Structure 1
Amino acid sequence: MWIGTLFALAAGLMWGLVFVGPLLLPEYPAALQSFGRYLAFGLIALPLAWLDRARLAQLGRADWLEALKLALVGNIIYYLFLASAIQRAGGPLPTMIIGTLPVVIALVSNRRDAARDGRLPWARLLPPLALIAAGIALVNQVELAQLRQDPAADLGRYALGALLAVGAVVCWTWYPLRNADWLRAHPDRSPRTWATAQGLATLPVALLGFLLTWAVLALTGAGPAPGDGPGAGAAAFPLPFGPRPAFFITLMTAIGLLASWLGTLCWNEASQRLPTTLVGQLIVFETLAALTYAFVLRGVLPEPATLAGVALLVVGVLSALHARPEPLVADAHPD
């Protein structure tokens, strides 16, 4: 239980980095950031795949098809939604919407996966979920209050960012459930191999998407539309790697290595050790990490209400870890 929790914590710390990219590259289109990140992930997976080629050879056609689905929905489409949301609404609002994932995943998996993992009685599940939801709501309320005080705030742009973040939630509710299905169905397979397989499956899709994005930018000659984020504008977008090529390549490579491959590896390790209902709640570590990074970039300390919300999140997760799933049907008597 605790080893799985530590792996989930490590994954959250690295996944929190993905919220930083759109804030550091506001003038780069979200599509270029999404495809760039996963192109780096796929390229990083190539030498890892060579080292792990014997285990990868054991994967069948159905396994590779599942890896492709996971890569497309849980990687590329998810990050396209998320990066677009952050560019329009800033860091904290999409972070807190993504922070509802522990609640959403727990609710879905407690019904969907009860036959496999057992069912957590609602009497035990609802209190920690209520704490998590209250923490998310409290932090979100602080951000909304600050937004109302900004006379230059574009509420329509923020609303669109929130909607895009909801799309990211849908993608990442589907991803961990399907990913856990495969891992729990193949306990003899290495989580490292499965993380590398998803990187390989991502590579051709990311490369095609990156080339198509280049083509669109070459035809239109512009980056993000005005108002898409701080510093964004409609000036000609220099190809192939934008106005800050060295920084863009370095950041995409770092996120591809840490957040995509290593983060996925740690999450796979956690998914093999923990019931899906519980591991879904541990995505809260990503929310906490992302909030920390966002406030570091802002250069300000969080409000007391924000800290109180974070405390509620942590207490909710810790209390959830003490709950144990119960089998739906009691084991038959051996006689």
Structure 2
Amino acid sequence: MLIGVLCALGAGLLWGLVFVVPLMLGDYPGMVLSFGRYVAFGLIALLPAWLDRKRMRALSRADWRRALKLALIGNLLYYAMLASAIQMAGSPLPTMLIGTLPVAIAVFSNWSPGHPSESVAWSRLAPSLLIILTGLLLVNASELDAFRQAGGQRSLADYVVGCLLAAGGVAAWTWYPVMNARHLKANPHIHSVTWATAQGLVTLPLALLGLFGYGAYASIGQTGFDFPLGPQPLRFVGLMLLVGLTASWLGTLLWNQASQRLPTSLAGQLIVFETLFALLYAFILRGALPGAAIAGGIVLLCAGVLLGVRAFRHQLH
């Protein structure tokens, strides 16, 4: 259990990076950032795929079909919506909407568990979820107030569309970890490294197709984007390789380990680490400290996670 929690912590630390990249590349469309990240992920996966070729060949057609579906929904679709949401509504609020994932995944996986051992009594699960939700509401209220006071930096329409895109990201990534965990637990012979690499490989052709499809659209629609590398090519390539290696390949590897070791309802709550690190990086980028409401929300998020781990500890023993 401890190893599983630490792996989830490590995945959250790495995944938090993807929330600040759209701010560092604000003149790049969200779709380009999504396709660029996953082209990098696929290219990086080629080396471990060669080194792990014996186990890669052992994967069945059903495994590859599942990996393809997970890559399409949990990788490309999710990050395209997230990156676009951050650019339209700023970083913290979409971050916190995505931050409802711990509650959404825990409820979904507990309501429809893949195995009876995956579920826990609602009376034991509810307190941690309520505390996490309260923490999220605190931060959301604070960020909405900051948006209103900023006045004129973004239109209300952009803000609303950004929030809707973030909600779509929540739906995509509520589905992803539950289905990913169920496949790994149904196939315990699949190593977490092999499964992370497989998802990278199937992502590569999808990302390349999407990237060049966007290029064709950009040339016809005259979007003004300098396809394919944009106005900051070195920075773009460097950041895509960084998140492709850390957030995509290594983050997926760590999350696979957590998914194999922990009940999905508990693992879902631990995605709150991603939210906490994303907030940390966003405020570092701002050069500011969080206000009292956000600090209080963060404390509640941490308390909710600790209570959630405690709720499952007896069951796991």
How many pairs align?
A: 314
Query: What do residues 124-146 of structure 1 show as CA deviations (whole Å, max 9, x unaligned)?
Result: 11111111000000011100111
User: Is the partner of 2:150 in helix, strand or coil?
Assistant: coil
Q: Which residue is equivalent to 2:105?
A: 105
Alignment of 1:227-242 (within 5 A): 236-242=224-230
Alignment of 1:1-335 (within 5 A): 1-113=1-113, 115-152=115-152, 153-222=154-223, 236-324=224-312
User: Is the partner of 1:130 in helix, strand or coil?
Assistant: helix
Contact 2:114 2:182 in 1 (8 A): no
CA distance in 2, matches of 1:240, 1:186: 39
Cα RMSD, aligned residues only:
1.3
CA distance in 1, matches of 2:101, 2:218: 33
Amino acid across the alignment from 1:128: S
CA distance in 1, matches of 2:241, 2:114: 39
Query: What do residues 283-302 of structure 1 show as CA deviations (whole Å, max 9, x unaligned)?
Result: 00000010001001111110
Superposition deviation, residue 221 in structure 1: 2.9
User: Is the partner of 1:169 in helix, strand or coil?
Assistant: helix
Which stretch of the first structure deviates more once superposed, 308-317 or 208-217? 208-217
Amino acid across the alignment from 1:285: F
Superposition deviation, residue 325 in structure 1: 8.1
> What TM-score, normalized to structure 1?
0.91
Superposition deviation, residue 240 in structure 1: 2.6
User: Is the partner of 1:324 in helix, strand or coil?
Assistant: helix
Contact 2:181 2:264 in 1 (8 A): yes
Question: Which portions of structure 1, spanning 4 or more consecutive aligned residues, are displaced by more than 3 angstroms?
Answer: none
User: Is the partner of 2:244 in helix, strand or coil?
Assistant: helix
CA distance in 2, matches of 1:115, 1:216: 45
> What TM-score, normalized to structure 2?
0.97
Query: What do residues 253-308 of structure 1 show as CA deviations (whole Å, max 9, x unaligned)?
Result: 00000000000000000000000010000000000010001001111110011111
CA distance in 2, matches of 1:237, 1:250: 19
Which stretch of the first structure deviates more once superposed, 276-285 or 141-150? 141-150
CA distance in 2, matches of 1:257, 1:221: 32
Judging changes above 3 Å, is the alpha-carbon distance between structure 1 residues 114 and 32 closer, same or farther for their aligned structure 2 residues? closer
Q: Which residue is equivalent to 1:231?
A: none
Please list every run of 5 or more consecutive structure 1 residues that lacks an aligned counterpart in the other structure: 223-235, 328-335
Superposition deviation, residue 187 in structure 1: 1.2
Q: Provide the identity percentage.
A: 57
Superposition deviation, residue 118 in structure 1: 4.1
Amino acid across the alignment from 1:273: R
CA distance in 2, matches of 1:36, 1:20: 15
Contact 1:22 1:86 in 2 (8 A): yes
CA distance in 2, matches of 1:6, 1:59: 27
Query: What do residues 4-31 of structure 1 show as CA deviations (whole Å, max 9, x unaligned)?
Result: 0000000000001111111011111111
Please list every run of 5 or more consecutive structure 2 residues that lacks an aligned counterpart in the other structure: none
